[in-house]
Amino acid sequence: MPDDAGIFSGVFGRGRAGTGSMAWLEAMLEVEAALARALERAGLAPEGAGAAVTEAARPGNFDVAELGALAALTGNPVPALARALAGKLPKAAAGAVHHGATSQDILDTAMMLLAARGIDVILADLAAAARSAAGLAAEHRSTIMIGRTLLQQAVPVTFGLVAAGWLTGIDEARQGLAQVRAQRLAVQFGGAAGTLASLGDAGPRVAGLLAGELGLALPVLPWHTDRLRILDVSAALARAGAVLGKIARDVTLLAQSEVGEVSEGEPVTGPGAGTGPDAPRRGGSSAMPNKQNPVAAIAILGCTRQVPGLLATLTAAAEQEHQRAAGAWHAEWEPLAALLRLTGSAASWGAELLGGLEVHPGRMRANLAAAGGFPLAERVTSLLAPALGRTAAHDLVAGAAARAARAGRPLRDALLQDPEPARRLAEAGVSAEQVEAALDPAGYLGAAGAFTDAALDAHRRAGGTGKTGQGEEGSHG
């Protein structure tokens, strides 16, 4: 059974990076083993100690439940883990276990390893989502639909522009995550109070060797109570969650029965993929056999709605006392793990959602036609403005639109058949043909095509990777 398996794991644990107890244990053991190897390389542990500790530091050699229970004695699981690890080694090698470190060094560095692995997985899923968004933007560059502002119909847009907006958001979120991955994931190694006093003059060298062993950056100094790295990781994850949530919310609104402009396709592979006529159907309801709910979009929103609270908790925990925090550090472990898990799950769902999204241009055209020309009222105003002034033109068209809406008539009829608007149009020299042209959605798309092309070009110029330069503080090894 996977480490993160549970009754809700199909929705909230869909990402491929582990953040549960076994993942934490594996990361902590990796740090302890890397420290032993670094100490040996620095001449502070006997030859062979690093290899011996690495061999003993296998997750299967330890009982997670027992370590969790023993954590109640010290406030964290590291002391019990270090003791258990040393107990599996000969005396000479056991001396290399945890030498020079404090519990926070192990847990913080393990947290950086979990973040690195989680971000790598999230970046891969976001890359897949971006490719699909780019494909939708290109395919539907000229597919006209109603624009919607404040949940009301507005001037027409294209679905290509909508997808281009999704693409740009995804690419910017990827860039932020890649920057954090390259620059802000650093080893933590400071000892009891951030001085590495127990290692004497060798402390900084061991810290550098440890960073190299783990492929993490070497910070300028230990960051026990400087939690900006945690906030940078958290904010980058929250940005990705916000982008995915926006896309999912758009899909839920466009997929409403009364709108029907997009729908989710059945997954071809992976969880929920059907294998025959009797296989469970994606989007079904326990009560209504006819339903086809947008499950992927709903699941994304279920994940991303939890993100702001987690980010707030981590932000509040960043205020930490003196050289080591009393409780605030402890408050970070579970929220950051949850943030990685939920963002990873949302990204996985997002890749599937955009990869299988079905677009219905016919329904978009029908909805636009049913709007009765009202979304083009602004364009008619611009025709009248030179002769009447913008305010008077706005009021004239607004009055015609209100009467047409009350009577259930198209805007065209109210403008051309009602005496007052017809007279004012004639006085302004605006012909019926000009009004008809103004009410054609295809002629009022502005820079939609250019903006879509710009988004696609930016995506191509970035190589579709979202990657940025190397780290500010050291190599990843």
Q: Tell me which residues are annotated as active site.
A: 285, 324
Structure tokens at 141: 């560059």
Neighbours of 41 (CB within 10 A): 16
User: CA-CA distance, 68 to 199, in Å (whole number)?
Assistant: 29
Question: End-to-end CA distance of the chain, in Å?
Answer: 33
Going from the C-alpha of 180 to that of each of 85, 183, 208, 293, 329, the distances in angstroms are 32, 5, 20, 36, 20
Burial of 164 (0-12, 13-18, 19+ CB in 10 A): buried
Going from the C-alpha of 78 to that of each of 86, 104, 224, the distances in angstroms are 12, 8, 16
Which bin fits 152, alpha (ψ -120 to 50), beta or left (φ > 0)?
beta
Residue 267 has what DSSP assignment? P
Q: Which of 22, 38, 33, 118 shows the shortest CA–CA distance to 77? A: 22
User: CA-CA distance, 169 to 158, in Å (whole number)?
Assistant: 17
Helix (H/G/I), strand (E/B), else coil: 154: strand
Residues 6+ apart with CB under 8 A from 138: 160, 452, 456
User: CA-CA distance, 343 to 349, in Å (whole number)?
Assistant: 10
Cα four-point dihedral sign 362, 364, 369, 370: positive
Residue 332 has what DSSP assignment? G
Beta-bridged to residue 357, according to DSSP, are 264
